[in-house]
Chains A and B, each alone.
Chain A
Amino acid sequence: MRRAMERREFLKKGLQAGWTAAVGGPLLREFISMPLAALAKDVPDVAVVWGDDYTKNALKAVELVGGIGRFVPKNSRVAILANVQSSHPGTFTSPAVLRAAVQLCRQAGAKEINLVSWQALKNWESTGLAKVAEEEGASLKLVERDEANFRPVPVPSGKSLSEARILNIFLEHDVFINMPVTKDHAGNKFTGTMKNLMGINSPASNRTFHKENWQTDSAAIGHLDQAIADLNTVVKPALNLVDATEFITTNGPFGPGEIIKPKKVVAGTDRVAIDAYCAALWGLKGEDIIMIRRAREHGLGQPDLKKVKIKEMSI
């Protein structure tokens, strides 16, 4: 009953904001309708678990932020977005962390668990993520980069991005779990939860994040970071489960580069806080990452880690 009421309330708010009409699917309302108010008071904003078993780390991290039932309703269709950009070590989401996410979704009674992507099957196979999907009973939903496979989604509060182009198939899901690997990025200096969303936006649209005749000046980089923050205003993951186990801190995002191994999995809903936390893992300040500042200006989260309730533990 509580959920039904909240859903109606969200629909009302969503229509006022133009979001539901823009997306035209159940995606956003489900993502936002999870009742934060129902959570115990000691549930952290961000949970961090480290140890040698990355699957266990992920399972525990989700438990700490309220358990999978908070994010995945029974009989829901779950879309998972992992990073399979490259098969170089430290550049893609750990198969062990993905395994935990799929196991949790099954445990929650999800009707479907789909890994959605426009990246090639080769990437999924060479990273070992396709094998995990098969073993755990998730499906790969891979589409061609053809623009017909993407739907325009207005970005009402966008400053650099007025329209996103989101994977059609992604919009057919009820719940979105965002699963990036955090790592270095030569353009933005950092990639994490927010930049990962470019993985459901069309490659052609992603190219517009880069100004025409890209000259890699500060204005162009600012435009790119603003566009990423803008995209995040219209796509809101129910849960972010970030692989910070082993990742590159140079030559990102493609590698090969220097790898560090914090062996951490980070979970939560506040993308800005999570990205600020992950950036700090290799000495970056959230305030120095333009994308994080722009997302803060959009009200997407809290970059000041002193103001974020973080629960860290090792297992």
Chain B
Amino acid sequence: MALAALLFLCSFGLPSGEQAATQTGQRPLSGLLPIPSELGGWTNDGDLQLFEGEDLFIYIDGGAEIYLEYGFARVIVQDYRNEAGIRLSLEIFEMQSPESAYGMYTFKRSPRGETLVIGDEGQLADYYLNLRKGRYLVTITSLDLAETAGVGLLAIARAVDKRIEETAAGPDLIGALPEEGLLTPSLKFFRGPLGVSNSEPVLAGVAAGIENGVRGDYGSGRTVYVFSYPDGSISRQKWAEAKALFSESKFSDLAVSGPVMSARDEKGRSIFARLEGNFIIVMIGRINLPEAGAELDRVAAKLRSLPRRR
């Protein structure tokens, strides 16, 4: 009884969704917010906001689709302001799974940010900080591009990190990418074609129907994609679509040999692809045939060694 009363008191003043979460035993996201002593001089600026499911369209008007593709559950938003008037905005996204959070983190992080030892992974970019931990993705932004905001970004990030108890490693499919020469900030994890389209629009059709996918850039000037499909019939169908795609006039030099094909795009980039069971591997960039063959073999071998999903 006393505990119920305490929960009621703690939830008083929270957005209705947070109160409902408390009443259903679901952990309120507001429980992850920093307490005042952890804020390093920043105080709440405005009310806490909560958005769940497709209500995300209200908060991220016109841009919610990518979060929904990755698997969005809910988000809370709290803005802060310090005595100098510098503003920060904290968003804590609860995604549907650790893979969802991982994917959205890779989508949002900067290609040039500074890696932080925080959460399962974290990065500080020019004016914002992203971290992922378990199912959670945390984004903190300096709304005024203030140089002095960095201290606040880190203070808030550490406080939230401390409150998130679950952790998760990256998805197994990441292990399919060759490690040598991989530019880590370029690594992206996909859950659907929209994410892929934002990386390489021409591959969006091939990526329709994926379970997930990964992309990594390499210092040698090539990019490797691996798409995982639910079963071999879908991957074979997508392989046929890829052949049709690379037959279009904007590509040239299409050559197909069994489960391997190559072509060249309008920018003069070489494209190599390989069908490997439930997977399609695509390599784009400055790479010659022998190198591509060896690289495709390495990725295929890694795929065969991945834990079986079912």
- The reply to whether B68 and A187 contact each other, CB–CB distance below 8 Å, is no
- The reply to whether B143 and A89 contact each other, CB–CB distance below 8 Å, is yes
Bin the interface of chain B by size.
35 or more
- The reply to whether B89 and A186 contact each other, CB–CB distance below 8 Å, is no
Closest Cβ of chain B: how far from A254's Cβ, in Å? 4
Interface string of A165-188 (1 = CB under 8 A from B): 000000000000000000001110
Name which of B57, B62, B69, B79 has the most chain A CB atoms within 10 A of its CB: B62
- The reply to whether A256 and B139 contact each other, CB–CB distance below 8 Å, is yes
Interface positions, chain B 272-291, Cβ under 8 Å from A, are none
- The reply to whether A216 and B69 contact each other, CB–CB distance below 8 Å, is yes
Bound form: Cα–Cα A65–B40 in Å: 50
CB of B197 closer than 8 Å to a CB of A: yes
Known contacts A85-B61, A254-B63: A221-B197 contact under CB 8 Å: yes
- The reply to whether A89 and B192 contact each other, CB–CB distance below 8 Å, is no
List chain B residues, Cβ under 8 A from A210: 65
A191 nearest CB neighbor, chain B only = B62
- The reply to whether A256 and B141 contact each other, CB–CB distance below 8 Å, is yes
Known contacts A189-B197, A216-B192, A218-B204: A85-B62 contact under CB 8 Å: yes
Interface string of B119-133 (1 = CB under 8 A from A): 000000111100000
Bound form: Cα–Cα A252–B60 in Å: 10
Contacting residue for B143 out of A87, A221, A252, CB 8 A: A87
- The reply to whether A186 and B194 contact each other, CB–CB distance below 8 Å, is yes
A214 nearest CB neighbor, chain B only = B65
Closest Cβ of chain A: how far from B197's Cβ, in Å? 7
Closest Cβ of chain B: how far from A1's Cβ, in Å? 44
Contacting residue for A216 out of B63, B65, B110, B112, CB 8 A: B65
List chain B residues, Cβ under 8 A from A85: 61-63
CB of A152 closer than 8 Å to a CB of B: no
CB of B304 closer than 8 Å to a CB of A: no
Known contacts A185-B63, A254-B63: A88-B143 contact under CB 8 Å: yes
CB of B46 closer than 8 Å to a CB of A: yes
Closest Cβ of chain A: how far from B73's Cβ, in Å? 17
Closest Cβ of chain A: how far from B84's Cβ, in Å? 16
Bound form: Cα–Cα A109–B12 in Å: 52
Bound form: Cα–Cα A213–B177 in Å: 32
Number of A residues with CB within 8 Å of any CB on chain B:
36
List chain A residues, Cβ under 8 A from B298: none
Bound form: Cα–Cα A92–B15 in Å: 26
Known contacts A88-B143, A256-B125, A256-B128: A214-B68 contact under CB 8 Å: yes
List chain B residues, Cβ under 8 A from A198: 62
Interface positions, chain B 123-161, Cβ under 8 Å from A, are 125-128, 139, 141-145
- The reply to whether B107 and A251 contact each other, CB–CB distance below 8 Å, is yes
CB of A139 closer than 8 Å to a CB of B: no
- The reply to whether B201 and A187 contact each other, CB–CB distance below 8 Å, is no
Interface positions, chain B 177-200, Cβ under 8 Å from A, are 192-194, 197-198
B59 nearest CB neighbor, chain A only = A254
Interface string of A110-127 (1 = CB under 8 A from B): 000000000100100010
List chain B residues, Cβ under 8 A from A258: 110-112, 125
B113 nearest CB neighbor, chain A only = A258
Contacting residue for B208 out of A89, A119, A203, A218, CB 8 A: A218
Interface string of A185-213 (1 = CB under 8 A from B): 11101010001001000010011001000
B145 nearest CB neighbor, chain A only = A89
Bound form: Cα–Cα A16–B143 in Å: 49
Closest Cβ of chain A: how far from B215's Cβ, in Å? 14
List chain B residues, Cβ under 8 A from A86: 60
- The reply to whether B46 and A122 contact each other, CB–CB distance below 8 Å, is yes
Closest Cβ of chain A: how far from B67's Cβ, in Å? 9
Known contacts A88-B143, A210-B65, A256-B141: A216-B194 contact under CB 8 Å: yes
Bound form: Cα–Cα A250–B145 in Å: 17
List chain B residues, Cβ under 8 A from A122: 46
Interface positions, chain A 250-288, Cβ under 8 Å from B, are 250-259, 288
Known contacts A217-B193, A251-B108: A186-B126 contact under CB 8 Å: no
Known contacts A126-B143, A186-B194, A259-B126: A87-B89 contact under CB 8 Å: yes
Known contacts A119-B61, A203-B57, A216-B192: A189-B204 contact under CB 8 Å: no
List chain A residues, Cβ under 8 A from B197: 189, 221
B46 nearest CB neighbor, chain A only = A122
List chain B residues, Cβ under 8 A from A191: 62
List chain A residues, Cβ under 8 A from B125: 256, 258
B130 nearest CB neighbor, chain A only = A256
Interface string of B54-76 (1 = CB under 8 A from A): 00011011110110110000000
B204 nearest CB neighbor, chain A only = A218
A253 nearest CB neighbor, chain B only = B63
Closest Cβ of chain A: how far from B18's Cβ, in Å? 19
CB of B34 closer than 8 Å to a CB of A: no
List chain B residues, Cβ under 8 A from A119: 61
CB of B205 closer than 8 Å to a CB of A: yes
List chain A residues, Cβ under 8 A from B204: 218, 221
Contacting residue for B141 out of A187, A216, A250, A255, CB 8 A: A255
Known contacts A186-B63, A189-B201: A89-B194 contact under CB 8 Å: no
- The reply to whether A288 and B201 contact each other, CB–CB distance below 8 Å, is yes
- The reply to whether A218 and B65 contact each other, CB–CB distance below 8 Å, is no
Interface positions, chain B 286-301, Cβ under 8 Å from A, are none
Closest 7 CB pairs of A and B: A216-B194, A256-B128, A186-B66, A254-B63, A253-B63, A256-B141, A254-B60
Q: Can you list 5 A-B contacts (CB < 8 A)? A: A187-B194, A189-B198, A216-B68, A217-B208, A288-B201
Given contacts A87-B143, A187-B65, A214-B65, 6 further A-B contacts (CB under 8 A): A198-B62, A203-B58, A216-B65, A221-B194, A251-B107, A251-B108
